[in-house]
Each structure stands twice: as C-alpha cells, then as structure tokens.
Structure 1
Amino acid sequence: MRFAKRFLSFAELPEETAFRRSYTMYDRGELLGLIDPDLAGTVDDVLTEHADVYEDNALDDFVNRMCLGDARMFLPGLNLAYTDRSSMAASTEVRVPYVDVEVVRAAFAFPGDRKIAGRQGKAVLKEAATSVLPRRSCTGPRACSARRCGPG
C-alpha cells in the first residue's frame, strides 16, 4: 500500500521527473531539508545532470528513454561497479548484465511499446534476434533458435 501511494504521488509529474522519483527516496525539497544548506547547489547539479542524461537523445518513446537513463546512470555507476566489488570481497561468482554493443544497439532499436506489451521475455528476445540483430551475433555453441538466425 505504501508503494502504491508513493507511485501515485509522482504519476502526474513530467516524464523525466516521474522517472527520477520512481527510484529516488526524496524529492528536491526533502533533500534540501536533509543536507547542509551550503550543498544546495550540488543537489541542483545532480538533478540537472539527470535531466540532461535523460533528454539528450533522439529516442521517441518513454520506455527506451528510461532504459537508456538506467543504462547510462545506474548500470555503470552502481550495478557493475558495486556488483564487481562486493562479489570479489565475498569471494562469490556473480553474473553481471550482458552489455555487448550489438545487443545494446538491438535493445534500443526495438520499440518501447513492444517491451511492455505483456509478452514474455523470450518471445520479445526471439523477435529482436530475428529482426534486428545481425546473423553473426547469434552464432556459437548454443546458437540462436530463431528462424533467420543461426550458425554461419
């Protein structure tokens, strides 16, 4: 219930602001109330940087803009770095996200509405493999089973 109330509190905000509020604990005013007033400029700098990263692309749908924002901010700054450090510290083997250039290009070439249309993940990936990825990206020991994709 708490999550639903929180979600509704930012659902009517502009796209970039709503996206940022979906994964941050505090809005600008709450942050400014928590930190030293001398750091207010830093909060504004971070918010401006986030907006710039979110809006400096030619993507035409909000799903792909959100995915790109995550890929540019969360993935390198938190996910990859912290996963690597914490797994080494605990001597564990982990799987980090697959970030091959061709796969990433294909992911962003695929329309955002197809990513949220309620289809199962494997079906979407198979469709992407047959329509976007070059044939050579699906070769290897476990070759892609999609029709146009496979060894050779």
Structure 2
Amino acid sequence: MPPERPKRERPAASGRLSEAWARRIAAVLLVIGAVIVALAIADVGPFSDPPTESERARDTVVGFFAAASQGEWGEFCSRLTTDAREQVQANVSELTGREAKGCVEALSVGGSGSFAGLSLRIKSVRIIGNQGRVEAVVKLPEEPPEPRSILLLQDEGVWLINDPD
C-alpha cells in the first residue's frame, strides 16, 4: 500500500475583492446605468414606444402651422381634409376675386407671406374616436396672441385638420 499523501490545504476564501477589482466593477456598473438612462431619455431601444394618437394629432397641427409660416402650401394643404381644402380655395378666391384651381394654387396667389413669423403654443389635445381638438395659442408678429380651437379628423389613420379657419 502506497503511503498516503498529505492533503493540501486551500486558503480559506475571504469573500472580499481587492480594492482595484471593486473599483472596476463599480465603473462598469456606472457606465451600464448611464447607457440605460440615455436610452430611456432618448426613447430608443427597448424604451421606445409608438406615438400616441394625441402626439400624432399634435404633430399634424405643429406641421400645419410650420408649413404656413414657411409658405410651404403643398405641405399646408396636405394636412387638411378634402372639405377644408375646398373651403380654403373658396375663401381665397372670394378674398382675391381670382378663381384658383385647388388649395395650393389659391394660397400661392393669395396667401404668400401672410403667415411669416407665426408662432404656436399647444395648450391641450383631446381625442375621442376619430375626432380631435387641439387648443392652441397662435401669434403673428405685430398681433396679440389668439386662442384657437383646431378640429381634426382621422382619415385612414392620418390626422387632418378639418376646419382651416
């Protein structure tokens, strides 16, 4: 029978990390936390969510007034319902005494520059089914702010302004 070998004793685990390792782990956790916070703030990655109907309606109104301010009549008219486009065409034709073919042509003739410098402040957005109302304050240069109720209608998933007045 061979002689028994003495058992080696392992050092007892102390359960402590060296200070250098503890700092490295803390730094990695801090970086991971910062990345998670940045993703959440930017609303991307696993934190992204689709826009709500209220946000989509609000974007329509903001885009509508931005197009008006910049004289982009094609974009302006594209954010109106068919009835509203016809109403704009009729109103401009009545004001200018010239018959126009379509919303864009009417505004190109009669609306140029009338909305330059316009500013908009949205106060509230309410959605009920396929209808919406945006309460806003519209201000033109040299004019006092004017409260506005903007009515919207959802048509095939797209929010359109239903009353261009």
Q: Given the two structures, how large is their TM-score scaled by the length of structure 2?
A: 0.21
Greater strand content: 2
Q: Given the two structures, how large is their TM-score scaled by the length of structure 1?
A: 0.22
Higher relative CO (CA 8 A, sep ≥ 6), structure 1 or 2?
2
